[in-house]
Every structure is written in C-alpha cells, then in structure tokens.
Amino acid sequence: MVRLYSFKRVSLILLSVTLVIGFGCSDSKSKREVKIEAGDRAQWFSLDTIYDHLVVTVKRPWDTITQRFLVCHKDESVPENLNRMKVLRVPVDRLVCTSSTLVSFANQLGAVNSIVGITDIQFTFNKTIRDGQKDGTVVEIGQGSEYNFEQIVKAKPEIAVLSLFQDQQTQRFSDLGIETVPFADYLEATPLARLDWIRFAGVLFDKLEMANHYYDSISSNYTSLREKTKHLADRPTLFDGLPIDGTWWVSGGESYMAAMYRDAGANYVWKDLKGSASIPMPFEKVVADASSASFWRLVVAVPNEYSLSELLKSDERFSNFKATSKGGVIYCNSFMMPLFEEGVVVPDRILSDLIFVFHPELLPDYKPLFYKTLL
C-alpha cells in the first residue's frame, strides 16, 4: 500500500498563542537579548525581552487568545513583578511530545534524551528514540490526536509539547498537573522560518546559544544557494502532489514548498494560488495546468524502491504529463528517508537536492540526499 502525503492536515492547524518566556529570572543570572531580523524568521513565534527577561511569543492565526509562560532556571525564584505568569522551568529534562520535528531539533542540540514519550513512535527514525522504546525509557503516548494518558503519566513528564491544532483539548493534561506548551513549526511558510523553531527548542533545553549558532550556519548556507538561482532566466516549470481518494492536493502558492521551488530556481505552476496550506484540485484542472510542465515532484511511502512504471500503473492518466515521458518526475520515499522528521533541520540539503535537479550545472559534484529522479 502506498501512503501518499499532501499536507492536508496543515489546513486544520492555523492558531495563535502568545507564549512569553523569560530567561534568567534572578538578577544573579546573565541575560541574553535576541534581536529578530525580518525575512527568514518564524512567523508564528518570536523572541524578545520583557522586563529584561527573554520572551517567546507564539501566535495562532485563527483567534487572538494568548498564553504566557515565564521560563526560569530550576534553581531560580520567580520575580515578584512577573509572579502571575505561568512558570516553565528550564532546562526541561523530561518531556512528551507530538512533534517528530522536535525530536530532530532536540537531537541537533544534544537533548534528545529529554524526550521520554512521543506519539506515532513507529514512524520515528531517530535511533535514540527507537532504542528508548525497546528498553522502556521512551513510551508511545498515543496515535495521531488520540492520547494514551496512562502512558503519559507513566513517562512522568515535566511538560507536554503539543503540535498546535484548532479546537485542541488540553484539559486532561491540566487535570494531571502537566503543563502543555504549543509547537507549530509546520505552520511556517518558508524553510528557514521552520528551521527557526530550533531556537524555541533551544529555550526549552537551555541551549539557545547553540540553537542560534546552528540557525545562523544553516541559514547562511541556504541563502548562498538561493543566491545562485535568484537571477536565472531559465526556470523550468514544476507541479506537485498526487490524487488522494479522487482529489489532487497541491501546494498553495504561499506555502513552504512553493518557497522552496522558487529558491531552487523553478517556476511553480500554481505559484499564484493563494494560501499556504494544501489545496484540493480536480484531476482535469491539474492536467490542464500541468500537462506540459517539465518536472513533477511527489512523495510516497513504500517499503521498497519505487519506480516510474509503478506510478504509471497506479493511474494511466499520469502518462498525459510531459514530466513522466521526459524523465522529469522527482520523488522522495519517506518510508526510507526521514524527510518530514529531519528535513526541517537541513533545509539547505533539500534545496540542494532540488537545485541539482533543475540546474545541475550549479552543483556539478553534488550527491542528492532526499530527492532523486524516478526511473
């Protein structure tokens, strides 16, 4: 069975919480001020200062509700002028989460051992998490949005970091005395904005300086790659997606993938389509818009090598696309490659993969990591 990915769920997730995190609550601790630059920074959270303390603001776009947490080191007292705020103690040594990308952020920061529970653990690639499941130090806390609270209690977490969804219910966590913290990297519409959430993880694990250095390094490399394609006149046309239950889901023109295509020097067929979530489109419309496109990018999940013949057998109408007859289908098999889990921490590698496909002369000695041509 081929599991296809369209990011349909993203359209359910646009929220806005204001999460205020103060760092170094007592005067005996040094304070770090972080200045946010415009451009490739996260839209749904930002770092600032309030009363000389570090602040994280997390927004949820479907309402104006705000939540505030004051983050203090575990040996610090809460400042009197901020004692009405919820307190989040750092570094967090034990947490459960519903985000596989947080696993990758934590791994990059050397803090993955702090994750003691996660949902859908069977889809996790991280070796530490999988080994932890075997020896009982990491538990599966549920499937999808269905939580196993018995396992959550067993894990003894300090906090639960939950991917943001509209109408999300967290009362049961509160009843158990477990503070919930929202995490919404996948709401971001650009690769570097998603990467920026490593700084949020850096706050949780008291490794903000390390997170800043990592972000600066990867974003510098990404920006250099983007500059290589910025002024190219020849930008091959591209479309994406696959039909699911009769409906083709395509990336919105303001989406993460649309930004990646643009940065890779491609002309995305639906670049003017409003919205950052995946958008449903009739098959006939896809054929009308994309039949002459040079490239088709797709993601599958199969426990074996995938082939062009398999793709064409799944729907004979796919032969109507120029990309299938001219060697222009590029794909990632997410069953074998941790695209969704680890891709967020290496957007420069994904960008390099795409540039190598669209403009191989720019990266002549490059070896692709996630994406390759479907043969």
- Residue 152 confidence (pLDDT) above 80: yes
Give the model's pLDDT for residue 87. Answer: 81
Give the model's pLDDT for residue 9. Answer: 36
Percentage above 70 pLDDT, the chain: 90
Domain ranges, ordered by start, for the chain: 8-220, 230-373
Reported as a pLDDT band with limits 50, 70 and 90, residue 215 is very high
Give the model's pLDDT for residue 168. Answer: 86
Q: Mean pLDDT lowest for which of 16-25, 134-143, 250-259?
A: 16-25
Residue position matching structure tokens 């290496």: 346
Q: How far apart are CA 312 and CA 319, in angstroms?
A: 7
Handedness of CA 57, 58, 63, 69 (dihedral sign): negative
- Reading the block at residue 91, the tokens are 């570094």
Beta bridge partners of 89: 72
Q: Average pLDDT in the 105-129 region? A: 97
Length of the chain: 375
Beta bridge partners of 139: 117
Q: Tell me the pLDDT tens digit for each residue of 292-349.
A: 999 999 999 999 999 999 999 999 999 999 999 999 999 999 999 999 999 999 999 9
- State the pTM of this model: 0.88
Reported as a pLDDT band with limits 50, 70 and 90, residue 165 is confident
Q: How far apart are CA 113 and CA 150, in angstroms?
A: 21
Give the model's pLDDT for residue 27. Answer: 41
Q: State which amino acid sits at residue 331.
A: Y
On whether the CB atoms of residues 140 and 149 are closer than 8 A, the answer is no
CATH number belonging to the domain at 8-220, selected among 3.30.230.10, 3.40.50.1980, 3.40.30.10, 3.40.50.2000: 3.40.50.1980
Strands 115-118 and 95-97: parallel
DSSP 254-292: TSHHHHHHHHTT-EETTTT---SSEEEE-HHHHHHHHTT
Q: How far apart are CA 65 and CA 15, in angstroms?
A: 9
Are the folds of 8-220 and 230-373 the same? yes
Q: How far apart are CA 6 and CA 15, in angstroms?
A: 20
Read off φ and ψ for residue 102, nearest 5 degrees. Answer: -60, -35
Cα 182 to Cα 35, 89, 97, 142, distances in angstroms: 22, 15, 10, 17
The CATH number of 230-373 is: 3.40.50.1980
Beta bridge partners of 97: 118, 161
Q: Tell me the pLDDT tens digit for each residue of 5-49.
A: 433 333 333 333 344 444 445 343 434 343 333 458 888 887 777
Give the model's pLDDT for residue 39. Answer: 58
Give the model's pLDDT for residue 35. Answer: 37
